[in-house]
A = this chain, B = another copy of it.
Amino acid sequence: MATTTYTVSGMTCGHCVGSVKQEVSKIAGVTDVTVELATGQVTVTGTQPVSDDDVRAAVEEAGYEVVSQ
């Protein structure tokens, strides 16, 4: 298992959280995604380390932006 935490900007409500979770969960090997709305922290757990580029692309697909990791 590998866990990485990213900071995502622009999420303002539970719908935003849901969109990010949905997109990031689609990445191959991802087993869990948790999002804390107040801080923008998105924690991604996978069976192996997930590509940061894949996470960044998924977050952008949802309409938000990774600002740090």
The minimal Cβ–Cβ distance linking A57 to chain B, given in whole angstroms, is 20
A33 at interface by CB-CB < 8 Å: no
In A45-68, the 8 Å CB interface with B consists of none
Chain B residues with CB under 8 Å of A19's CB are 15
Residue A1 at the chain B interface, CB threshold 8 Å: no
Interface residues on A, range: under 10
Decide yes or no whether A39 CB sits under 8 A from chain B.
Answer: no
Q: Other CB < 8 Å A-B pairs besides A15-B18, A15-B19, 7 of them?
A: A12-B12, A12-B13, A13-B13, A13-B15, A13-B16, A15-B15, A15-B16
User: What residues on B are CB-neighbors of A12 within 8 Å?
Assistant: 12-13
